[in-house]
Amino acid sequence: MFSHLFKLIWNKKKQNALLIIEMFISFIVMFAVFTLVVFSYNNYKQPMGFDYNNVWVINFFPPENITRNDSVSMFHDELKKTMLAMRQIEEISFTGNNVPFSMSTSNSSINYGSHKNVMANMYQAEETFNKVMKMQMIEGRWFTKADDASKYTPVVINRKLKEELFGSENAVGKVLGEQIIEKGTAENRFRVMGVTENVKDKGSYQAIENGMYIKMDSGWARWSGTMILKVKPGTDAAFESKLFKTLSNAIGTNIEIEHLDKKLVSKNKVMLVPMIIAFVVAGFLIINVALGLFGVLWYNINKRRGEIGLRRAVGATGDSVSKQLVGEVLVLSTISLVIGCFFAFQFPLLNVFDLSAGIYLAAIALSIIFIYALVTLCAFYPGKQAAAIYPAVALHEE
């Protein structure tokens, strides 16, 4: 029966070409959508790598009258002392403005041995940063004040960067370079003090990226207008108000306090926007394809009433006529999917967009299932209608 269906379809290839193209385009669109979905879902499944609950972010304008590095350090120490005196605050760290779930990103290229220009997100952090974030160390340790005397700037890198630069080797003690663009070949040199677990600091759907936490020096501190603090569970708005007043007295105005858990919700919404747009576009396309398929099949059945009557006369049951029509569409969709898969498989083979092959393969599988389900659904009712055609009537009409 399959060879019979192939013959029928092959002999009507011109009529079927548009249908095949329509299903091919649908497959490609669904492949793109499912790639995005699988990619986002894979990211979502990854642990966040830190505890964002009860972590607040304070943004402020550094006081303009404190300009010298030692004065800045004293100001920071005083501010921290004042805040840590509040029993609701467990830990504080000054940091750069690319705090978790913010819209800011800071990155640079790292060199190590044969690995040149490896892009990594750079985070300015203090020695208490990991305690606020409750990050998990997998090698070495977080930097301390004692590391200030080090010849090279102490850094902690994340697991992904470690694996890319060092593979299974121990990263602790290794020296990395960062090219300073404005100074030609000169490099900033960093010593790896430890390796931390990967952190998803751009939202639940973010792909894990290379990360490097650099010990903030007094030069950087001058410009730092951001701190993160861990508060005790259950700390309420009354304390937030009190904290705000305390900070206003110490720093001045333009103080903003944000909660990381709320920032995550809002960041996730932003990250869902492209997916929602993709779903809406794909949804419209699929509705059009479904209506088109349904219409073509419906038209085919009316056009082929004589053939259906004949098949019934020579021994086909209503059920087998219905199955034949559904089978024909499935064969057509198989042809479309074979063509579609040829193009889709180029993505993992050519490593387009630098995604893992598993994501593309899962997206291909999901797209195939989706297209088969769609065409079966669209063919089901016209198929049932064909099964209900009374052979005597159909043959007489012809």
Residue ranges that bind another protein, judged by CB under 8 A: 1, 3-4, 7-8, 11-12, 306-307, 309-320, 390-392, 395-396, 398
Q: Which is nearer to another protein, 261 or 319 (CB)?
A: 319
Do the beta carbons of residue 205 and residue 44 sit within 8 Å?
yes
**Minimum distance between the CB of residue 10 and another protein, rounded to whole angstroms?**
9
**Minimum distance between the CB of residue 387 and another protein, rounded to whole angstroms?**
9
Instruction: Give the span between the Cα atoms of 167 and 159, in whole angstroms.
Output: 10
Q: Which is nearer to another protein, 194 or 391 (CB)?
A: 391
**Minimum distance between the CB of residue 393 and another protein, rounded to whole angstroms?**
8
Do the beta carbons of residue 190 and residue 88 sit within 8 Å?
no
**Minimum distance between the CB of residue 302 and another protein, rounded to whole angstroms?**
16
Instruction: Give the span between the Cα atoms of 16 and 1, in whole angstroms.
Output: 19
Q: Which is nearer to another protein, 12 or 131 (CB)?
A: 12
Q: Which is nearer to another protein, 160 or 304 (CB)?
A: 304
**Minimum distance between the CB of residue 385 and another protein, rounded to whole angstroms?**
15
Q: Which is nearer to another protein, 271 or 310 (CB)?
A: 310
Q: Which is nearer to another protein, 200 or 311 (CB)?
A: 311
Q: Which is nearer to another protein, 234 or 315 (CB)?
A: 315
E strand map for the chain? 55-59, 89-95, 107-112, 115-125, 137-140, 153-158, 175-179, 187-196, 211-215, 226-231, 256-259
Helix axes 2-11, 318-344, angle to 10 degrees: 70
Contacts of 45 (CB under 8 A, 6+ apart): none
**Minimum distance between the CB of residue 3 and another protein, rounded to whole angstroms?**
7
Do the beta carbons of residue 374 and residue 286 sit within 8 Å?
yes
Pairing mode, if any, of strands 89-95 and 226-231? Answer: antiparallel
**Minimum distance between the CB of residue 44 and another protein, rounded to whole angstroms?**
46
CA 256 vs CA 181, 249, 259: distances in Å: 34, 14, 10
Pairing mode, if any, of strands 211-215 and 115-125? Answer: parallel
Do the beta carbons of residue 231 and residue 88 sit within 8 Å?
yes
